[in-house]
A and B are shown apart, each in its own frame.
Chain A
Amino acid sequence: MRFVMIVVGLAVTAGCASAGGRRPTSTAPAAAAAPAGQDTTGVGPQYPSTYKRHPNPAVLIRNATIMTAAGQEIQGGSILFRDGKIVAVGTTVEAPSDATVVDGTGKWVTPGVIDTHSHIGVYAAPGTFAESDGNEATNPVTSEVWAEHSFWPQDPQIPLAIAGGVTTIQALPGSANLIGGRSAILKLVPARSVQEMKFPGAHYGLKMACGENPKRVYGGRGGAPSTRMGNMAGYRAAFIAAQDYRRRWDKWNKDHQGDPPDRNLRNETLAEVLRGNIYVQNHCYRADEMMQMLDLAHEFGFKIRSFHHAVEAYKIADVLAREGTAVSIWSDWWGFKEEAMDGIYENAALVQQAGGRVVIHSDDASGIQRLNQEAAKAMYHGRRAGIPITRDQAVRWFTANPAWVLGLESVVGTLEPGKMADVVLWSGDPLSVYAQAVRVYNDGWLVYDRNDPTHQPKTDFTLGQP
């Protein structure tokens, strides 16, 4: 897997938030439907991002092995980025006089790591009840809650994730509920508010959960759902209500006749799912349940962007590929509950081989720090089972593919001119257990330098602690 690419052009494209038609499977522009920030609810923009790029000098990393996640592994390669955009990637990139030059000899470069499934910030450390803000487990359907309203930017887990090369996360509500609420797609940068972290141009996700968790939480209280059929009835009732809500609002948005319909936050979020503007992120372990959820999606005409956890994805890899639904999975977690019993190392490789879209996710404040390692584990186990996974594919599992799951594939996830300068410099091959992120750039900003304590941001929480 060695390619040499000579030169590459100049940055031009506008990074974030560009337009795009309704093509969830295309590789072109981020947005599947309406661009984020654009109002489709009829009520105006809500809680907009205040993210601003940190001003930085241009940076040239030279003589590194560059894994672009776009098909190349360039030996002796250079990458130049300026004003938050990748300008050039190749073997003969000129260093502008004002650029900071970083020697990449013996080191590797990848796109910033993206985690589609994190609870940092909403289940923050130190992990007491005071920081337990991830599950609004008071009703099985809480599409009205937004993870960003729980997110604590001073969570000390954030700098740990950054040190693992992570530049973007989807912070999700937990899985107690059938419909848990909106996710937050965030740039992982030091900030005073979550608004300053919200990824411009990202589409909200809707957290949904199958299986054991909702029926345990609510059945355990003597309520509904208490069974998997109760789960299904719960999703259907919620979307039936949302269909009606959407019809009334779409009509009013079109003709503005009379007073607007009453607003209902629960239905508003689900109506955006039905319009294709919010992506369904569905916690679901078992193959048979994923099939049920695909039926549900067909019934109401929405797409499931990604199944999450999906330890049995390999059993229906053909179906998932056909449906264009990604899987956000672990390399090797299994066995901690019954619906996780059939997890196997080769899950990722088998889904990849079937033409599906694989994401290695964390769901864990520890695992998010080494998604590269988890991808390596899944790749090598796949290979040992005779499934030919390439290094580029494995890197895409924690870069380009999660970018797609978040609708950001035209903005981040690969090292190509025009993409946002989310760049990680690794001490060695990122698919080795010994590699560590030595420098992490987020939108061109050096947010972490392993060798420079002045570039190792601490949260407020950590100050003055041992």
Chain B
Amino acid sequence: MSDKHLNVKNFVMYYRTTRGEVKAVDNVSFNLDKGETVAVIGESGCGKSSLAKSLIRVLPRNVSVYRGTVLLDGLNLMELNEKAFEKEIRWVKITYIPQAALNSLNDVLKIGDQMIEPLVVKNKASRGEALEIAAKTLKSLGVSEEFLYRYPFELSGGMRQRVIIAMSLMVKPELMLLDEPTSSLDVLTQANIMNLMKKIKKEYKPSMIFITHDVSLSSELADKVAVMYAGQIVEFNNAEKFYKDPVHPYSRKLMESIPTLRTDKKLDYIPGSPPSLLNPPKGCRFRDRCPWRFEKCVEDPPITFLEKDFYVRCWLSVRG
């Protein structure tokens, strides 16, 4: 276990609203080797964005519970105080590429200014040096350096996304968190960005957590797959094994709903909608929509290990 690059164990994040406590990240565990990518797959509202943000400790204002173990190269991030985390982890070891880059950039600051901020503020680099690095990185991603002097609203969605990815690369992070990086883009741009990510994976070899609801998209980068449902990970598996033969009923239904190009397949869908994270039901949270449910499912399903440290949360997988 100790040679894992990233090891997340029993990670919890709840926050309070006027309607109650939202159990956004409910006891999540997974791990990564260096240079590996884990795809976190799930429907909207299952807590995947909260997971990413919580890992880089960008918590909602009314957070109530935040605990667990997050070992990055042996260092337990949860034990660091805020100041240390800000100084040594955020945009140093871990970077975060948010969903919908449209709103993540500051509209009143120039692109260049925003790109060099971490370097200038944290590493005390000079403005000139930092701008050079920014220009170079942009070029390597296919963006002309004149955009350094423009404002975000002057760029298209795809370019903004590239800018943010470039910002990530400038600090050569160990771990990149990508939260649905292509969901607001058109198909062509999406393909472009995915190719970019593949290139980055090959050249810089960062560990990545790639969050998406698009199962087929995830297959392009994933080494491991974690399926999230109602705040929990219901299946954590090796990518090849997963795409060929998923274990958890939810994963199976997801796969069945993907259209394939060359085979004739009857498309299926999952009826109903995921439970609210406010008061998740007792027992298996998927049972209301699961075609294979049985009486045992009203109890919390235990973790069944598949091979190595991969696991699934389902009564069907429990022998005996």
A binds B: no
Q: Which residues of A line the B interface, CB within 8 A?
A: none
Q: Which residues of B line the A interface, CB within 8 A?
A: none
